Amino acid sequence: MKGLHYFLGVILIITANIGIIRGQTGLQVDFESGYPLPADGIDKGSSSILQSSAVGPLDDQTLEWRLPRDIMPEEYDLTITPILDEDVPGLGGPFTAPGEVTIALNVLKDTDKITLHLASTAFITLTSYEVIETETGTNLTVLSTTEDVLYQFKTFNMQAPLVNGTAYHIRMTFIAIITNGLDGLYRSAYVDPYTNTTKYIATTQMEALHARQMFPCFDEPAFKAKFFITIGRRTGNIALTTTQSLRNRTMAGFPGWQWEEFAPTGIKMPTYLLALIVSEFTYEEAPSNIFSKVVRTYAPAHYIDQDGGVYAAQKAAEILSFFESYYVEKYPLGKMDSAAVPSFFFGAMENYGLNIYRESALLYIPAESTETERYSITRILAHELGFATYVAQQGGDVVAPEFKASERWQNDAVQNSMQFDARSDYSHSVKIDDNAWITAGAMTWFDRMAYEKAGSLIRMMKGFLGEETLRNGLLKYLKDMQFQAAIQDDLFERLTEAAKNDSKLPRDLTMGDIMNTWTLQPGFPLLRVSVSDASGVLISQERFLNNEVQVEGHINQDTGLWHIPMAIATRSQPNPNGTVGSWLHNDVAMQYFLTNTSEWFVVNAGGNGFYRVLYDAPLTQLIQSELLTNHDFITSRTRSQLLDDYFNAAWQKHINIATALGLMEYLGNEREVVVWNTVLTNLRKPFNLLSSTGFWYTSLRFFLLPRLQSAVSLTGGVNNTALPDVNGGMPVIRNLQFLDWLCGFEDPECISYSTRLVTAWAANPSENPIRRDIKPVVYCAAVAGGGDTAFNFIHSQYILRNITVKQQGTLLNALACTKELPLIARLLEETLLDTGFYNQSAHVTVILSQLARNPLARAPLVNFLRESATTVESVAALGASNVITALATYTGTQIALDDIKAYIDEVTPAVPNFPVATRAAVTTIEQNIAWVADFAAPMSSFFEK
**DSSP 8-state code for residue 502:** T
687 in Cβ contact with 935 (< 8 Å): no
| Among 6, 920, 23, CA closest to 444 | 23
Q: Which run of H or E residues covers position 105?
A: strand 96-107
Phi, psi of 63 (to 5 degrees): -90, 120
Q: How far is residue 90 from each of residues 13, 96, 254, 281, 314, measured CA to CA in Å?
A: 40, 12, 9, 27, 43
Q: How far apart are CA 820 and CA 818, in angstroms?
A: 6
Q: Give the Cβ contact number of residue 3 at 10 Å.
A: 29
Q: How far apart are CA 692 and CA 428, in angstroms?
A: 38
Concerning whether 384 is annotated as a catalytic residue, the answer is yes
Q: How far apart are CA 779 and CA 524, in angstroms?
A: 43
| Among 10, 117, 918, 871, CA closest to 385 | 10
| Torsion sign, CA atoms 839, 845, 850, 856 | positive
| β-strand partners of 167 | 106
Helix axes 775-798, 805-815, angle to 10 degrees: 100
776 in Cβ contact with 782 (< 8 Å): no
Is there a binding annotation on residue 795?
no
CA trace torsion 114, 115, 116, 118 (10° rounding): 110
Q: How far apart are CA 893 and CA 600, in angstroms?
A: 41
CB within 8 Å of 801: residues ≥ 6 apart: none
Residue type, 373: E
Q: How far apart are CA 505 and CA 730, in angstroms?
A: 36
Q: Which run of H or E residues covers position 249?
A: strand 245-250
Q: How far is residue 731 from each of residues 403, 737, 939, measured CA to CA in Å?
A: 8, 10, 30
15 in Cβ contact with 332 (< 8 Å): yes
Q: How far is residue 175 from each of residues 54, 78, 92, 182, measured CA to CA in Å?
A: 34, 13, 9, 18
| Among 22, 66, 75, CA closest to 44 | 22
| Among 591, 765, 757, 736, CA closest to 673 | 736
Phi, psi of 454 (to 5 degrees): -60, -45
Q: How far apart are CA 595 and CA 580, in angstroms?
A: 16
Report CA Rg, the chain: 29
CB within 8 Å of 429: residues ≥ 6 apart: 449, 519, 520, 521, 522
Q: How far is residue 739 from each of residues 743, 773, 820, measured CA to CA in Å?
A: 6, 11, 22
184 in Cβ contact with 204 (< 8 Å): yes
DSSP assignment string, 356-410: EEEGGGT---TTT--HHHHHHHHHHHHHHHHTSHHHHHHHHHHH-GGG-HHHHHI
Backbone torsion region of residue 56, taken as left when φ is above 0, otherwise alpha when ψ lies between -120 and 50, otherwise beta: left
Q: How far is residue 613 from each of residues 540, 541, 560, 643, 714, measured CA to CA in Å?
A: 10, 9, 18, 10, 30
Q: Which of 260, 371, 384, 407 is catalytic?
A: 384
Q: How far is CA 555 from the centre of its chain?
A: 27
Report the binding-site residues for Zn(2+).
Answer: 383
Report the binding-site residues.
Answer: 383
Q: Which residues carry out catalysis?
A: 384
